[in-house]
Amino acid sequence: RFVLSAGHASALLYSLLFLNGYDISIEELKRFRQLDSITPGHPENILTPGVEVTSGPLGQGFGNGVGMAIAERYLSSYFNRDGFSVVDHYTYVLASDGDLMEGISSEAAALAGHFKLNKLIVIWDNNKVTIDGPTSLAWSENVLERFHALGWYVQDIEDGYNLAKIEEAVRNAKEQKDKPSFISVRTHIGYGSRLQDDCRAHGAPLGKEAVEEMKKRFNWPLEEFYIPEEAWRYREEKIKNGVKMEEEWRRIFERYRENYPDLADLLLRCFNRDWGKEYKKYLPVFTEGMATRAASGKVLNAIAKHIPTMLVGSADLFESTNTYLHGLGDFQADNPLGRNIHYGVREHAMGAIMNGMAYHGGILPCGGTFLVFSDYMRPTIRLAAMAGLQVIYVFSHDSVWIGEDGPTHQPVEQLSSLRLIPNLWVIRPCDPNEVSVAWEIAIERKDGPTAIILTRQKVPVLDRNIYPTADNIKKGAYVLADTDSSPDIVILASGSEVHLALQAKRMLEDRGIKTRIVNMASFEIFEQQEEKYKLEVIPRNVRKVAIEAGRGLCWYKYVGENGLVISIERFGKSAPYQDLIKDFGFEGEKILYEILGHFKIS
């Protein structure tokens, strides 16, 4: 598998994919960076045949490569049998100076060294130039010593144009049994052009005259997009060899299927992201109240053994996020079948590594941290959504109600911020049984990531003999409690604030005000419903209120400019959460009077 972490070199990747027989035409190479071409400015996995990952934001591809290597280690250990190496490959990463400047590369490299991922090979395009100028402007560390200290096998090639030396270094790397490999290759940006070693060569076109000058220097025909017959023959040979290699693998797999039919079936299902239906039989039904993070932990431990390639990790918060899979072991160098990945305090690397596992295929990656620390991994969440990756995030401690840790750890803007990311589903269940359904939604969704937002504090279990079933959150939002006729007020809420909305309903109806409660568990899923259903749940021309313990701007789409949003528009405080509830006015009676005052109801 190959990751171009230096995504700005996408033209090189597209050219090589063309030469190696992928479905990229000369016409598409000519349409580089043009509207609706399959050769965009940075690689996109869902757009271009042969592109493994969506890269460009520097450092991301490095982390993806580590994730791919972890996936290969786990899957090969799980599925391979004597004589049948059905999962067996190296992961190669081409990284730039900028990739290695980004902190995420150090985070991910530290984990790769710790896990001794010997089938990971990173090649550093060491050209000593970034966009602003020479790397010496801001970079003077000994990169080779850094990787040596992180437990990598390090090689240094002074002449990056000596192909024999590079091949020798790769062969050396493949002989390593307990270390990932880092190969520094000294190159020159704009090699052979008048802009060699000049930062302007990074993004600016050389111009026709400079290109012709360079072609003459290399004795290359001046014709634009010239491809010699030798290259065409090479491409045809690669296509033939590729067909032969695939046929050979399929023959091996058929013999594997004959000997291990259950494993073969599972392998195919996992790479098709078909996680089976067996786990659904074990989704818990809850009868007692608890924090939704605790309910999530019970759900995970009930279903994980029925999804054997689900790998769950945490950024040093397994206990707090309740994401640890008990009895299923820790993934380590000496235990490649462990199902729990300890990422350490490295949220950003965790996100990129989970993306890498999803890009690889066969793995259902899940990871947990506090909601406030989703900010540390936001670039990876955005890329997961852009690339359509099935990744599941468990974000606990979802509001200022986490209490004593104070405003640094109390999320206020994060929930709204996550809802702004296209193709990310955000689900905030209101009780333990909705947590079970949220996990089912996330597992069944194949075309993008899902964030499950969970409380630290205990919440009640709704009596589903009185209220509609928890399955209704599969529509994103639903009428939880209604009136006998058209409502005077509709209150929308999510998560723990749903219970506060129910209190407000009782108080309003004591005053003769007919009130509907809408449980708004997921904006994104609700928006996918038919317009008729959406209007049935949230009708026009009725007074509307939204209640949520976070920034409220997103709610105005539903309540309208004349509606009332009861939210938190400032940072929190350090105090027991019961005191914070009073301080922020999230109590039934205060909510009642705020509603009455806003709509001038006497």
Residue 127 pLDDT > 90: yes
Under a CB-based contact definition with an 8 Å cutoff, are residues 353 and 111 in contact?
yes
Instruction: State the burial class of residue 60 (Cβ atoms within 10 Å of its Cβ: 0-12, 13-18, 19+).
Output: buried
CB neighbours (10 Å) of residue 347? 25
pLDDT confidence of residue 141 = 96
- The predicted model gives 258-276 an average pLDDT of 98
- CB-based contacts of 297, cutoff 8 Å, min separation 6: 321, 322, 323, 324
% residues pLDDT > 90 (the chain): 98
Residue 264 pLDDT > 90: yes
User: How far, in Å, are 129, 271, 286 from residue 279 at the CA level?
Assistant: 51, 17, 16
Element housing 534 (H / E): helix 531-537
Tokens of residue 482, six digits:
């209604």
Tokens of residue 114, six digits:
């710790």
pLDDT confidence of residue 461 = 98
Tokens of residue 328, six digits:
């299923």
DSSP state of 533: H
DSSP state of 34: -
Confidence of residue 602 (pLDDT cuts 50, 70, 90): confident
As a whole number of angstroms, the distance between CA 370 and CA 399 comes to 10
As a whole number of angstroms, the distance between CA 19 and CA 394 comes to 42
The pairing of strands 133-134 and 153-157 is unpaired
Residue ranges of alpha helices (H) inside 361-484 are 378-387, 414-419, 432-444
Residue 58 pLDDT > 90: yes
As a whole number of angstroms, the distance between CA 353 and CA 334 comes to 19
Amino acid sitting at position 333: A
As a whole number of angstroms, the distance between CA 564 and CA 548 comes to 11
Under a CB-based contact definition with an 8 Å cutoff, are residues 305 and 279 in contact?
no
Confidence of residue 202 (pLDDT cuts 50, 70, 90): confident
Active site residue 248: no
347, 440, 524, 548: the active-site residue: 347
- The predicted model gives 556-581 an average pLDDT of 96
As a whole number of angstroms, the distance between CA 187 and CA 338 comes to 40
- The predicted model gives 127-155 an average pLDDT of 97
Tokens of residue 517, six digits:
């409660």
The pairing of strands 129-130 and 133-134 is antiparallel
pLDDT confidence of residue 135 = 96
Residue 82 pLDDT > 90: yes
- The predicted model gives 200-222 an average pLDDT of 91
The per-residue pLDDT for range 369-404, each reduced to its tens digit, is 999 999 999 999 999 999 999 999 999 999 999 999
- Residue position matching structure tokens 């591809």: 61
Q: What are the two backbone dihedrals, phi and then psi, of residue 518, each rounded to the nearest 5 degrees?
A: -110, 120
Residue 278 pLDDT > 90: yes
543: left (phi over 0), alpha (psi -120 to 50) or beta: beta
The per-residue pLDDT for range 14-44, each reduced to its tens digit, is 999 999 999 999 999 999 999 999 999 999 9
% residues pLDDT > 70 (the chain): 100
As a whole number of angstroms, the distance between CA 329 and CA 326 comes to 7
As a whole number of angstroms, the distance between CA 337 and CA 328 comes to 8
For residue 84, list its beta bridge partners: 81
- The predicted model gives 51-65 an average pLDDT of 97
Residue 204 pLDDT > 90: no
- The predicted model gives 91-96 an average pLDDT of 98
- The predicted model gives 195-222 an average pLDDT of 91
Confidence of residue 189 (pLDDT cuts 50, 70, 90): very high
> What is the reported pTM?
0.97
Secondary structure class of 546 (helix, strand, coil): strand
Residue 601 pLDDT > 90: yes
User: How far, in Å, are 2, 15, 386 from residue 24 at the CA level?
Assistant: 17, 9, 22
The pairing of strands 489-493 and 543-547 is parallel
pLDDT confidence of residue 494 = 98
Amino acid sitting at position 342: H
Confidence of residue 296 (pLDDT cuts 50, 70, 90): very high
Confidence of residue 205 (pLDDT cuts 50, 70, 90): confident
Residue 149 pLDDT > 90: yes
As a whole number of angstroms, the distance between CA 161 and CA 264 comes to 43
pLDDT confidence of residue 470 = 98
Residue 491 pLDDT > 90: yes
CB neighbours (10 Å) of residue 36? 7
Measure CA 254 to chain center: 33
Residue ranges of alpha helices (H) inside 304-395 are 318-321, 347-360, 378-387
What mean pLDDT is reported for the chain? 97
- Residue position matching structure tokens 């990311």: 421
- The predicted model gives 325-350 an average pLDDT of 98
As a whole number of angstroms, the distance between CA 327 and CA 312 comes to 13
